[in-house]
Structure 1
């Protein structure tokens, strides 16, 4: 253990002693400041696409260019359970690896289907065809080439708070489950009907040495007021 690390631990121990000695209102006030600063540090690090140890996030798996956009498609697809297959009518479609992605008219939005599960392609009349409509899907897919977790690091999803036991920074509800999969490198479906894939571990949350130093500085400044 380096001398700098030992000194930092000694200062943290002393800062903890000082925090324990102040009244509840004062302790909550400084904990709120620490939580806000720690949350900002987590967001900044995620924006840099870095793990807490400074290593870069594992890159996305490379994909080939999506193929398709060749008009409307109609096909039979399993509905799940024991129900009969549904007829899917898709516009603005593209092949993206093992998936066929496009605008599902019945669902009213973009959906993905595993091509190996398609039971049978059905005919499409000339009036239903939309040969020039593939661009929107291609543009949508290129969004995945941008920085990862752009939404997760915003204040809408990344939260912080204090309670009687200390402070916390993290995600809540359904978003917490999504973040955990990436934090631990777990498995999940690419979409509701999509295949299950193994995600690389990317540590969205974690305290860096710089975070520790910044928090310690904040505590010491607070004590000097």
Structure 2
């Protein structure tokens, strides 16, 4: 920008007739700074170094003529790293990136299951940077899959609690039969809530002592308690 252009810019911006030509860059810098400052203090230096690395990579991409990251992309990456830092500090009680392990990363990804793939990509980028710069010795995100685990992932009860419930459902005459039947089906046969909801009287074969649950390929033999 020449001296005349700078003079005109100063005049128009001073009188509120135009925004500075680098206004977008200033706003983006402010957003990045807020995200970095929101990270817990013990983990913040690594987040700031990673932000500088992202900007250097973007400049290299521009000089090489390849597609550089946009400000929106950089903001999204820093937001995820900020959230990870907060999770490690507040939920896991860890104030050092080197203490993060695969269980911490998996728990962080489980907070937003629908965003697992996107967040895992960003977390992987950060820890590859951290390992290259000796912030961590190993990459805790390495080996994690973007796919969510199949099967039941909810809370379970202890074996002793299962025994107490089994005795209640099979010996307590005050228990309603509906509760006892549904409890036994879930406890002994792993019946899901969906299979229980779809259960009909015609699914029960009293002669062969079997019950058809959901879309299971074969009837389930029922035990004496069931």
TM-score range relative to shorter protein: under 0.3
Larger gyration radius, structure 1 or structure 2: 2
1 or 2 for the larger relative contact order (CA 8 Å, sep ≥6)?
1
Structure 2-normalised TM-score?
0.24
Bigger fraction of residues in strand = 1
Higher helix share: 2
